[in-house]
Amino acid sequence: MESFSGFVVVGIVAVVLIAVTCLMMYEALRFSWRFMLVSRRRHGRILYALAAAFAVHIVSIWIYGFTYYFLTTYTELGALVTIDATPDSLPFSLITCGYFSAATYTSLGFGDVIPSGHIRMISGAEALNGLLLIGWSVTFSFLAMEEFWERPDRSLPSD
């Protein structure tokens, strides 16, 4: 694929991935907040919100992982290359793409799997997206705990 058109395709894919994952997080947190408002189980309120956010993070990582797998397998937009080419190194597979996605999403970036070609743009967007979504879920958790956590000086809003 020609250089500029490959860049445009990967840019569009990155924007779509960011939009989809942000929309998923928004809906999960919105549902969690509504659930917390009507829930009678005090301890479950926060746990359900954390579980929903964690589930969205896992799904987001795998959405990016499947995208890497598809783009590296069926297009010529780039590849994922492992640094150590030993018999023990990870072969290219969906699991390798998921592993790379998790390391990129969390901004951990071990460096044992490196993107090449145009898909490098997606990995950069994924790192920013992961930082945004992790920060969003942490902020939501803080606000939920502030609102629904039992304190000796005040009762819960639904009490």
* Residue 23, pLDDT score: 97
pLDDT value of position 20: 97
CB 131 within 8 A of CB 107: yes
Residue 99 tokens read as 């592993």
In a domain, 36, yes or no: yes
Cα 97 to Cα 103: distance, rounded to the nearest angstrom: 10
Answer yes or no: is pLDDT of 156 > 60: no
Q: To 5 degrees, how large is the angle CA 119–CA 90–CA 53?
A: 60
Has residue 125 been placed in a domain? yes
Q: Please report whether residue 7 resides in a domain.
A: yes
Q: For residue 6, which of 75, 70, 67 has the smallest C-alpha distance?
A: 75
At position 99, the amino acid (one-letter code) is Y
Average pLDDT score over residue span 93-100: 92
Residue 34 lies in a domain: yes
Per residue in 11-50, pLDDT tens?
Answer: 999 999 999 999 999 999 999 888 888 877 766 778 888 8
Q: Is residue 15 part of a domain?
A: yes
- Asked if residue 125 has pLDDT above 90, the reply is yes
Residue 61 lies in a domain: yes
Q: Is residue 159 part of a domain?
A: no
Residue 157 lies in a domain: no
60 to 28, 40, 87, 145: CA distances (angstroms): 12, 30, 30, 24
pLDDT tens digits for range 47-70: 888 899 999 999 999 999 999 999
Structural domain count, the chain? 1
The model's confidence at residue 115, banded by pLDDT at 50, 70 and 90, is very high
Q: Nearest-5° angle of CA 100, CA 19, CA 4?
A: 70
- Global pTM? 0.85
CATH number of the structural domain spanning residue 18: 1.10.287.70
In terms of residue numbers, what domain contains 57?
3-148
The Cα 92–Cα 135 span in angstroms is: 31
What was the pLDDT predicted at 126? 96
**Which pLDDT score is estimated for 152?**
59
